[in-house]
Structure 1
Amino acid sequence: MIESRTPMVWYIQRTGVAGEQDLDAALEVHDGFIHYPLSEYGESHGVVSLQQSSGGIPPMARPQGLEWFALIDQELRKNPLAEDAAMVAQFKYIGIGGETPFNSELLSAAQKRGLLRAVESSARIIDYAGRQLGATSYGWSMMFEGGRYGQDYLSRASINLRAAGLNVPERALYPNRYTDSQGMQLSSKYQYRMTMPADAPAKEFWSLTMYDATNLFMVENEINRYSISTNRPEELKYATDGTLPICIQHQPPEGEHCNWLPAPEDDFYLHLRLYEPTQQVLDNEYPMPQVIKQTL
């Protein structure tokens, strides 16, 4: 049993899929999961039959301006945390966490201007903090903080902007990078090479995924490949020494024994996932593979 510290929780259920040929088996495993309230424990439950959705996920309502602070006030009332009490107490000066819900009309003009500046600047701070957060290794932001944030609110915010629901490092580690080996932004204007060593520091499997640097989404490409992963061994072409060469570029590589990860037509960043990482990488003693821009 897992006990939550708050009245509300976010439950994530993952089922691994090793390519199209594995989809039917994965769906069968997925259908075997049954969820019900604790009050119904011991009762008989069957699998709920789901219908095909007729549309995509509706766009999420995004607060504007001072609405952000009303949302913060609302969520703090739903999910109070004793360890955050000292910090939350300071919010009462701007009408958050007081006896009554947040009301921007009760703020002075100076307070409103300050809070609106905070909304704008905080978004930029959170965005750029994630590009070089915490410990680094050969240009990779290692994200050792995942799942154990404590009072490190900036790490919590910047990590969840890109990878909400991170596991703790011992389960999975998620190094990411925006730059090449020379510290320059990764861009589709160039071609890059990355060689994953034969002794990759993951006891289970690893994957390398591409995202655009602006919207943080995967980008459609002509071969429908969005990651290079040892969980799909039939796609991989190893070198004779057991290493795995990866070509990261917008156009297909020519005449190379290389695993192509298509890049979008813009700046991008890379996310490496190491499932069950070795102790060497957890101690930040493993030399992470470099991303090297090619000279054309």
Structure 2
Amino acid sequence: MSAELQELAAKAWVYGFPLVFDLDQVNRFVAEGMGSLDAAPFNTFGHARTLAGPRDTFVSVNNDTIYSIAQIDLAHGPQLLRVPDSGGAYYVLQFVDAWTNNFAYVGKRATGTAAGRFLLTGPEWSGEVPDGATRIAFPTAVGTIIGRWACDGEADLERVKELQSALTLEPVGDQEPAQGLPAPDPNVPEELRFWEKLRVYSQAYPPAAQDLVAQQAFAPLGLLETGPSPYLEAPPDLASVLTAGAEAGHQSLVTALKSGAGGAVVNGWQLMYHAFDYNDDFFEVGTLDSPEWRIEDRSKALGLRAGAAMAGLWGNHGYEAAYAPIYHDSEGNELSGEHDYTLTFAPTPPVDAFWSITMYDLPEFFLVDNPIDRYSIGDRTPGLIFADDGSLTITLSTVAPADPAARANWLPTPAAGFRPLLRMYSPKAEVFDGTFEIPPFVRTR
């Protein structure tokens, strides 16, 4: 086995993982749905009617907002998106292309909360934009809109449902039905199926021009071949290289995520405020095209893109929502349900919208089932007890605390390893300039 070729395969796996993982989820949402989100065809919104719970098996799904998600296919023409007036309430529609680039935002921070119309167009589209509409150009013919509506619990659900019902998509002009994703050859052996998907998808949805150079280098792996799949009867040496490269690429990504993926680490928290800055090419409405929100080193950007997909697919740019995951306590030990912890905020995170800490299991990053149905805790959690000095101490444990105050502020953990995630929606400047410091997890048992 050529060591150089295996190294190339590992690099190609990291490069292509976001595309394959993303489009696997696109197919899933169209064919099966996800937990509280029923399946919805292309160019149609599927709406969750409750906050996400353990049956919503999606990587790092949030428990703060109600989701409205649409898979978009613009191969046959544009779609007209209508958004309602939210009456000043927070919401965001995030636009993601097939390579997981966040390329547009509509919502309170980006465009305000008044009603609006947006023309969604595919690559190489030309035509007239309807009066009163704003064009949003998709870098790839297929993409995803992830809508998040702020919801203050059960009593607020009806308000959110009314907004969801007023969120619509409709084709512009006569169009054939959406064609959906191209089908990789189903007869390719399971261990090589990732490579077949990457080959087919990368040709159907070309990346940004600057990434084509990197993609061309993967020719020895068969990824540039057109027509019948080269993996149906791949030579044993090539099959071994691809299998070993995939394992090496996957392991390198897991290791990078646990170590902070090259970002700053403060009190064990990985400050992933710039984990979604890898888009360097496509800036539509609501995005910030400025140096502090771009990554100059393209190789680093592609690695971050893969890590962001694995640990937080469809996450926002930091200026929309800042994320900080944590794997270790104040002593550097991995977090585990075998122990109890406290986390004391003094002050609480500075935001213009809201903040939360959500509990996830490992290695899937799914929500954790628990006896009180509490999957996150934050500034909108009812009944929290603050100390006289205004600080907030959260208890994290498998078993409910006996102390009433600790129980009021309890976030249940799984019995095994876990990884919480702090989200700060519409974060203030103190989050980014270091004025606000996230406190450590302190083991108490």
Compute the TM-score of the two structures, normalised by the length of structure 2: 0.58
Write the distance in 1 (CA, Å) between the matches of 2:414 and 2:170: 42
| Match among 227, 246, 251 for residue 399 of structure 2 | 251
Give the 3 Å change call, closer, same or farther, for CA 188–99 of structure 1 in structure 2. Answer: closer
| Match among 121, 124, 127 for residue 254 of structure 2 | 127
Amino acid at match of 1:149: Y
| Match among 118, 122, 132 for residue 245 of structure 2 | 118
Aligned to 2:165: 31
Amino acid at match of 1:212: D
Give the root-mean-square deviation of aligned CA atoms: 2.0
Aligned to 1:147: 276
1:273 matches 2:423: yes
Aligned to 2:376: 227
Aligned to 1:67: 193
Q: Could you tell me how far 1:278 is from its partner in structure 2?
A: 1.9
Residues 237-248 of structure 1 aligned to structure 2 (within 5 Å): 237-248=385-396
Give the 3 Å change call, closer, same or farther, for CA 145–36 of structure 1 in structure 2. Answer: same
Write the distance in 2 (CA, Å) between the matches of 1:174 and 1:183: 20
Matched residues, number: 273
CA contact (8 A) 2:218 2:224 kept: yes
Write the distance in 1 (CA, Å) between the matches of 2:234 and 2:274: 36
Write the distance in 2 (CA, Å) between the matches of 1:245 and 1:38: 53
Q: Could you tell me how far 1:99 is from its partner in structure 2?
A: 4.0
Q: Could you tell me how far 1:194 is from its partner in structure 2?
A: 0.2
| Match among 135, 144, 151 for residue 17 of structure 1 | 151
Write the distance in 2 (CA, Å) between the matches of 1:282 and 1:129: 22
Aligned to 2:305: 156
Describe the SS at the equivalent of 1:12: strand
Q: Could you tell me how far 1:25 is from its partner in structure 2?
A: 1.6
Ranges in structure 2 where 5+ consecutive residues have no aligned partner? 1-134, 175-185, 280-297
| Match among 414, 419, 436 for residue 264 of structure 1 | 414
Q: Which has the higher strand share?
A: 2
CA contact (8 A) 1:247 1:260 kept: yes
Q: Could you tell me how far 1:229 is from its partner in structure 2?
A: 1.8
Q: Could you tell me how far 1:228 is from its partner in structure 2?
A: 0.3
| Match among 266, 289, 302 for residue 137 of structure 1 | 266
Give the 3 Å change call, closer, same or farther, for CA 115–284 of structure 1 in structure 2. Answer: farther
Q: Could you tell me how far 1:108 is from its partner in structure 2?
A: 3.3
CA contact (8 A) 1:73 1:101 kept: no
Aligned to 1:51: none
Q: Percent identity?
A: 28
Describe the SS at the equivalent of 1:269: coil
Write the distance in 2 (CA, Å) between the matches of 1:155 and 1:139: 19
CA contact (8 A) 2:330 2:440 kept: yes
1:197 matches 2:346: yes
Q: Could you tell me how far 1:105 is from its partner in structure 2?
A: 4.7
Amino acid at match of 2:190: Q
Amino acid at match of 2:171: P
Q: Could you tell me how far 1:107 is from its partner in structure 2?
A: 4.2
CA contact (8 A) 1:146 1:167 kept: no
Aligned to 2:315: 166
Amino acid at match of 1:269: R
Give the 3 Å change call, closer, same or farther, for CA 101–241 of structure 1 in structure 2. Answer: farther
Compute the TM-score of the two structures, normalised by the length of structure 1: 0.86
Write the distance in 2 (CA, Å) between the matches of 1:183 and 1:37: 53
The more displaced of 174-183 and 278-287 is 278-287
Write the distance in 2 (CA, Å) between the matches of 1:38 and 1:64: 40
Q: Could you tell me how far 1:6 is from its partner in structure 2?
A: 1.4
Q: Could you tell me how far 1:106 is from its partner in structure 2?
A: 6.2
1:88 matches 2:237: no
Q: Which runs of 4+ in 1 moved over 4 A?
A: none
1:215 matches 2:364: yes
Q: Could you tell me how far 1:23 is from its partner in structure 2?
A: 1.5
Amino acid at match of 1:260: W
CA contact (8 A) 1:181 1:291 kept: yes
Q: Could you tell me how far 1:173 is from its partner in structure 2?
A: 0.6
Write the distance in 2 (CA, Å) between the matches of 1:38 and 1:235: 49
